Amino acid sequence: MQPAHNSRVHSFAIFTAFSTLVLLMAGALVTSNDAGLSVPDWPLSYGSWMPPMVGGIFYEHGHRMIATFVGTLSIVLAVWLWKADDRHWVRWLGVSALGLVICQGLLGGITVRFFLPPAVSSAHATLAQLFFIPVIAIAMVTSKWWRSDLPELDDSSSPALRSLAVATTAVIIVQLFLGAAFRHNAFGIQPHLVGAALVTIFVVLTSRAVRKRFGTVRDLRRCSKFLNMFFGIQILLGIAAYWVTIAYHDAAQPMPLFVTVTVAHVLGGALTLASSFILTLTAFRLVRPAGTVVGSRAEGARV
């Protein structure tokens, strides 16, 4: 019998994922506007829960307010999953998301208390992206699609699509850390450029595997298209971000074009990670593990 689908939990998980994307944008606005130390204390802001929202305080305290909201959503989601979902591993997925957002808040406080140390600031920015992963996973595994009876596809080629998708997601995470480290002055841009080349290789390999082996499988093909689209946009945004960084290096204050492009680049990275991870989950849901191949049914299969 098909397991019960809770549409309300699924909708709430999607809302939490969308709110997390807004939080990532708010954090990028803090960095791009050089507003990281506009509020010198934590957890309060100038000893208050609501300081005057002027100048850099608007970005820094606004970021904290959105983070608090997302943290509250994570608590609700974790409790709701624990009570409403019959899958033990999904319950713990909600707990892991909550644990990550708590760690993220603590790292944010440390960055303020210790005056934005590059290593901690880079970890804070990366952990925000990592928190996005279990939230996306929850949104997917609570969907009606995930809980439906779906065909199991065989993948006899090597490397397996599952492995390629996992590797691509992992390389993107490393690349996001390298980008965060560059933005927070931990080191130069060279490692980030090397990371971009590696991500390009893995995106191409993964997309090619989907096209060659599962070209008729609509869900995998769609995920691959989104991955390629967001990654292509991200490459263009990366070039633009580097250009505005050089062009406005000596500016007295962050210029609007610099802020817009660099924030868009951060969001592009998040969407690239999300599309790669969704492709990974889709591959795990539809494709058999390599060791259990019993005959190819991928050809002609449509999901």
What confidence tens digit (pLDDT) does each residue in 93-144 have?
Answer: 999 999 999 998 888 888 888 877 788 888 888 898 999 999 999 999 999 9
Instruction: Report the share of the chain in percent with pLDDT over 70.
Output: 94
208 — pLDDT class (breaks 50, 70, 90): very high
Mean pLDDT across 164-178 = 96
Residue 122 contacts residue 184 (beta carbons within 8 Å): yes
Q: What is the pLDDT, as a whole number, of residue 53?
A: 86
Please report which confidence band the pLDDT of residue 300 belongs to, taking 50, 70 and 90 as the band edges: very low
What is the percent of the chain with per-residue pLDDT over 90, rounded to a whole number?
62
Question: CATH assignment of 1-148?
Answer: 1.20.120
**For position 4, what pLDDT does the model report?**
63
Task: Say what the pLDDT of residue 108 is.
Answer: 84
Checking if the pLDDT of 29 tops 90, the result is yes
- 71-90 per-position pLDDT tens digit: 999 999 999 999 999 899 99
Integer Cα distance of 69 and 23 in angstroms: 9
b/e per residue 210-236 (b: at least 16 CB within 10 A):
beebbeebebbeebbebbbebbebbbe
C-beta separation of 130 from 100 below 8 A:
yes
